[in-house]
Amino acid sequence: METLSAPVTAHNLTGWFILSRSPAPDHNYSVLEEAIDSQTTLLHETGDVNELLIENTGDVDLFIQAGDIVKGGKQDRTIGTDFVVPARSGKIPLPVYCVEQSRWQRRSSEPVTHFSASKDFVSSKKARLALQLLKNQGEVWKSVAEEQQSLAFALADEVRSDESPTSLQLTYENEVVRHAVADYTTLLEGAPATAGGRVVGVVWAINDVPSHADRYVHPTLFAKLWRKLLRAAAIEALGQSRRRTPAGETAGATEPPTTDAIREWLAARELLESSRLDEERLAPRTRVRTHRGRSQHRFEVFDTALDAATPLHVTVIAE
């Protein structure tokens, strides 16, 4: 049994938290940011733009989310699919896409054979669909360029790095972008604590239109990913905002959807009844089920070693 919280809003971004009343097994997963920071996970270059080798040397299973950006190597990459990496895994092939088109050598003092950080998700819906639905490198590059252009327009400033103009990660680290995104995140970062229940996910509307949602099997996993989810949503909202007034308001705002309307959008009954369904198994223990619809798409990911019936992560993305 699940319910939605009351909405929370920052500028042109509105969120509803998914609250679970049902107990779920709290399997302890690490996530990519903490695993890289603790040096229990290594991502190795292979010489192939669209494949890395991942190695989990720790004692805890690792959950990776599609859109996780890894920084360094010969080019910054983003992970192409949700993926479960067992503890003490050895080296496993991992599908990735480039989010930095021009570089193929060391950048500054970063390691060239592996990756040093994972602080962000790919934020734009178009990029996420290019990864998870189209699985197309050219569309990923196109979405990166369009996102940089949208952010530059919204901020009336250059957001590309002189060091590597095509790097999406360096755009996210741009000082002007960081300060603008903080206008959103400082308002919403503590919101899950006031949602009134066990938070397992979040639904976002941008410019008062449903955008995307992420739902996890247990509150612990959501809590580990919340700040990256919020930052990604804030960057997407920033890129879709009009130039804001000196007071920080966005001109032309309308009323956000009602909670009932968001509940219907999230249920996606028409999508689940009439969509095209694809399934993919990824060794060693990941199963991905994709519902392709006309107006939205749903991705369900399962850890086959634990519970083949209950999704570990569900993503819904509007077209």
Residue 252 has pLDDT above 50, yes or no: no
Rounded mean pLDDT, 287-294: 92
Q: What is the pTM of this model?
A: 0.93
pLDDT confidence tier of residue 47, bands split at 50, 70 and 90: confident
> What's the rounded mean pLDDT across residues 158-163?
95
Note the pLDDT tens digit of each residue in 53-86: 999 999 999 999 999 999 988 899 999 999 999 9
Tokens of 283: 């060794």
Mean pLDDT of 257-275: 84
Return the half-sphere exposure (C-beta side, CA atoms, 13 A cut-off) of residue 18: 28
Would you say residue 243 has pLDDT above 60? no
The first and second tokens of residue 196, run together, are 């009134």
Mean pLDDT (whole number) for 21-42: 89
CB 174 within 8 A of CB 277: no
The residue extents of the domains of the chain are 2-244+255-318
**C-alpha separations of 171 from 79, 156, 165, 176 in Å:** 18, 14, 8, 9
Measure the CA–CA gap between 204 and 206, rounded to whole angstroms.
Answer: 7
51-54 own/partner pairs: CB under 8 Å, 24+ apart: 51/93, 51/94, 51/95, 51/96, 52/77, 52/93, 52/94, 52/96, 52/115, 53/91, 53/92, 53/93, 53/94, 54/83, 54/85, 54/89, 54/91, 54/92, 54/93, 54/94
User: Of the given ranges (73-87, 154-168, 262-276), which has the lowest mean pLDDT?
Assistant: 262-276
- For 102, residues 6+ apart whose C-beta sits below 8 A from its C-beta are 164, 165, 166
Average confidence score pLDDT of the chain: 91
Q: Where are the alpha helices (DSSP H) in 135-215?
A: 137-155, 168-172, 175-188
Residue 115 has pLDDT above 70, yes or no: yes
d(CA 16, CA 129): 22
Residue 259 has pLDDT above 60, yes or no: yes
